Amino acid sequence: MTSTAQAPQPGARTAHPEHLGHVIFIAAAAAMGGFLFGYDSSVINGAVEAIRGRYDIGSAALAQVIAIALIGCAIGAATAGRIADRIGRIRCMQIAAVLFTISAVGSALPFALWDLALWRIVGGFAIGMASVIGPAYIAEVAPPAYRGRLGSFQQAAIVVGIAISQLVNWGLLNAAGGDQRGKLMGLEAWQVMLGVMVVPAVLYGLLSFAIPESPRFLLSVGKHERAREILAEVEGQDIDLDARVAEIELAMKSEHKSTFKDLLGGSFFFKPIVWVGIGLSVFQQFVGINVAFYYSSTLWQSVGVDPTESFFYSFTTSIINIMGTVIAMIFVDRVGRKPLALIGSIGMVVGLALEAWAFSYHLVDGKLPSTQGWVALIAAHVFVLFFALSWGVVVWVFLGEMFPNKIRAAALGVAAAAQWIANWAITASFPSLADWNLSGTYVIYTVFAALSIPFVLKFVKETKGKSLEEMG
């Protein structure tokens, strides 16, 4: 073995693959899990009112059916890492693809409300798996020189999935004559909306057979030659493969398997930095962002917007979400995480406050007055834009960077769990809160957006330009 094999060389960090297009294909295929994450999360938006009418249920029961998928999300996210370490990243993707497919078929053909809820839990489990496996696989396969850009495919795929689901819902609603329960292909339109996810789910499964296993996993199970082949395939033939393998194995041996116990300490059970991570996760959800993706068509219909138009506005909101995400990807390393979060918080306060003001007016002939209606519509898009260009991306960047190496994995797991719980709380409470007072509900979201400003200023430290080792 040469001396370069004994000590990993920095050349491995700057190696460029000969076939960058192939590497992009691998990352894009893995990011299909993110697409399904976004699609499955928001496609229910098109079925909310139809489910209410089909099963004659009140707001509280309806909210539980919508939110119950998040229970599956939490379980899937909590178990995906261990599953992937046992059977591999690719097998984990294939399991998620099968679960997405089963969920789509079951949700499209429910016998009763209880089994619709069951299929949503199954889909949620797949979402949770995809939310963990996609980013981990891309990070392990991507050449170091391209890791940041390829890693952003996951978030981009999620927001595209949200947008496509809304576009498909709008198209199917038009085909059904503007009636969510209108007949299409022998089913009600909302059933077709939920069933269409079979197409990307099957595609995800097929693509998983066309991409290689993670070299890191292969090395962990002793398949050194195959790992070397894949490293040469994705990082180029010119790199020192012995050095690269040695670097990965050294990193694997030196890794500290963080546990829940490592997070304990301080005056309030967890270490302060863990509470900051939990706070970021909770604020990200408590501004009500998922109301815009789970209930927006219902929201607009409740203030007198025509169903077809309400579905179109859900789609345009999703396009704004994509635009904001692109802005965040461009500026997060230039402006910094903390300034971007503060800009986003201020913009969200303005947007949410204007929505609260508009919804405070009484409906005239079942509709908001013209001025308030336009203000509500524009403000909703402003809110989503500022969320997407800040908290939608920045929180995940913070959570990946802010924790000390010793506790990073466990702390990230706790923060992610807090995010799913907060997501569930908002999703499950919105229909009942909206029945109580729609304007008051948006006042609550505005307050949380405003409180996020002093929280960031006082407790969150900038991580831009710092190595992970500098985090304590």
pLDDT in tens, 409-449: 678 778 888 888 898 899 889 988 988 999 999 999 999 99
Which residue, chain included where needed, has tokens 């539980």? Answer: 64
Give me the percent of the chain exceeding a pLDDT of 90: 37
Q: Report the 10 Å Cβ neighbour count for 185.
A: 11
pLDDT in tens, 289-332: 988 888 888 888 878 888 888 888 888 998 999 999 889 888 88
pLDDT in tens, 61-98: 888 888 888 888 888 887 888 888 888 899 999 999 99
pLDDT bin (cut points 50, 70, 90) of residue 16 is low
* Cα 12 to chain centroid, rounded: 31
pLDDT mean over 243-256? 73
Query: Which residue stretches of 142-197 are H helix?
Result: 147-151, 153-175, 189-195
Checking if the pLDDT of 382 tops 90, the result is yes
Checking if the pLDDT of 267 tops 70, the result is no
Checking if the pLDDT of 35 tops 90, the result is yes
User: pLDDT value at position 12?
Assistant: 45
User: pLDDT value at position 11?
Assistant: 43
pLDDT bin (cut points 50, 70, 90) of residue 180 is confident
SS3 at position 279: helix
- Looking at per-residue pLDDT, the higher value among 447 and 158 belongs to 447
Checking if the pLDDT of 1 tops 60, the result is no
DSSP 362: P
- Looking at per-residue pLDDT, the higher value among 223 and 236 belongs to 223
Pick the closest to residue 172 from 162, 187, 184 (CA basis). Answer: 184
pLDDT mean over 208-234? 86
pLDDT mean over 139-162? 80
How many Å apart are CA 44 and CA 9, to the nearest integer?
50
User: pLDDT value at position 467?
Assistant: 55
How many Å apart are CA 74 and CA 424, to the nearest integer?
10
- DSSP secondary structure, 37-87, as one string: HHHHHHHGGGTHHHHHHHHT--HHHHHHHHHTHHHHHHHHHHHHHHHHHHH
User: pLDDT value at position 2?
Assistant: 36
User: pLDDT value at position 456?
Assistant: 96
Q: Quote the mean pLDDT of the chain.
A: 85
User: pLDDT value at position 5?
Assistant: 38
Checking if the pLDDT of 257 tops 70, the result is no
Measured between its terminal Cα atoms, the distance across the chain in Å is: 36
Entry field: residues in the chain: 472
**Cβ distance 15 to 239 under 8 Å?**
yes
- Looking at per-residue pLDDT, the higher value among 401 and 121 belongs to 121
pLDDT bin (cut points 50, 70, 90) of residue 207 is very high
- DSSP secondary structure, 406-435, as one string: GGHHHHHHHHHHHHHHHHHHHHHHHHHHHH
User: pLDDT value at position 310?
Assistant: 85
pLDDT mean over 443-462? 95
Q: Report the 10 Å Cβ neighbour count for 251.
A: 11
User: pLDDT value at position 83?
Assistant: 86
How many Å apart are CA 216 and CA 233, to the nearest integer?
14
Query: Nearest 5°: phi and psi at 207?
Result: -65, -30
